[in-house]
Amino acid sequence: MDLPVINHEDYFAKIGDDHRFPINKFGELAKFLIKKNIVKKFHKPYPCSEETLKRAHSDKYINDVKNKTLDQSKVKKIGFPLIDSVVQRSLIATGGTVLASKLAIDTGLACNTAGGSHHASFEEGAGYCVFNDVAVAAHYLLNRGLASRILIVDLDVHQGNGNSELFKKNKNVFTFSMHSKSNYPAKKSISDLDVELEDNLEDKNYLKTLKFYLNTLNKENFDFVFYIAGVDVHFNDRLGKLNITDDGIKERDELITQNFYSRDIPLCGVLGGGYNKDFSKLVELHSFLHQSCAKLL
């Protein structure tokens, strides 16, 4: 069975070559996955509908983004210029995670080649996150009866504060964030389970910590998992403060995907953050998520 992977040319937005966010990674990751024969062809998503978006975001925020009338202070907080290609990218990438979540139910595993915009909350975006695609997709599954108890495993180096805020009163979604204690956001939210890591943590203790908490999570009865596989935990990342190697990230991704696949719990993998100083390395690191899933099918 081939791993369902979602990609769209509109994952690229015209934010400028000198922007801090490596927007070219989405297209280059797609090329890498094809070249390495990890993926034969991609599923193409549609832009996420307003009806689906508004289960996780306010009508006003959605309309202000789509109409490009968002207050400039809120645009600055997001970190992207609010232009047509950014709006389109935000809608299509969110639609990509919704599609990946539906396909994961059929095959056990599916991945987006974008997504993991975990800083976006009900009425605003932040930290290069416009719409919270995982939150939107989680609501989609719950509202259609496709899942009843969802786990979000967030291993981005930054805390998934948007998800913890959006689901803090929702007993059907459990938020788990294992992140750098001293990194963005400065003021952390409260997830169902937060694990704060000290600066410069290396592979051995990182993986040991993850395994411990994974064993704890395995005692719960989840029927769907979203995995935010941020690679900004890498030692050479511009925005990370951890010391995880290539092998550490690969082992981490294999650990997560194997754990849930072996227990017959569908998993939707999304990219999360990555700002490596070496762009080619960044693309390779992001591909570990897709490689780990493809091996299992």
- Tens digit of pLDDT for each residue in 1-11? 899 999 999 99
Question: For the whole prediction, is pTM greater than 0.95?
Answer: yes
Task: Tell me the C-alpha distance between 132 and 118, whole Å.
Answer: 6
CATH number at residue 225: 3.40.800.20
Supply the pLDDT for residue 170: 97
Band of residue 16 on the pLDDT scale cut at 50, 70, 90: confident
Q: For residue 203, what are the CA distances in angstroms to 193, 194, 210, 237, 292?
A: 21, 19, 10, 15, 18
In the chain, the percentage of residues whose pLDDT exceeds 70 is 100
Supply the pLDDT for residue 17: 81
pLDDT at 233 over 90: yes
Task: Tell me the C-alpha distance between 205 and 209, whole Å.
Answer: 6
Work out the average pLDDT over 34-52. Answer: 97
Number of domains in the chain: 1
Task: Tell me the C-alpha distance between 21 and 80, whole Å.
Answer: 9
Look up the domain containing 33 and give its range.
5-296
Work out the average pLDDT over 51-57. Answer: 97
Supply the pLDDT for residue 18: 84
Supply the pLDDT for residue 169: 94
Q: Considering only 4-18, 109-123, 129-143, 217-231, which range has the smallest mean pLDDT?
A: 4-18
Band of residue 165 on the pLDDT scale cut at 50, 70, 90: very high
Nearest to 163 by CA among 187, 136, 141, 186: 136
pLDDT at 209 over 90: yes
Alpha helices in the chain (DSSP H): 25-35, 50-53, 59-66, 72-78, 84-107, 133-143, 161-166, 203-217, 246-262, 279-296
Supply the pLDDT for residue 237: 97
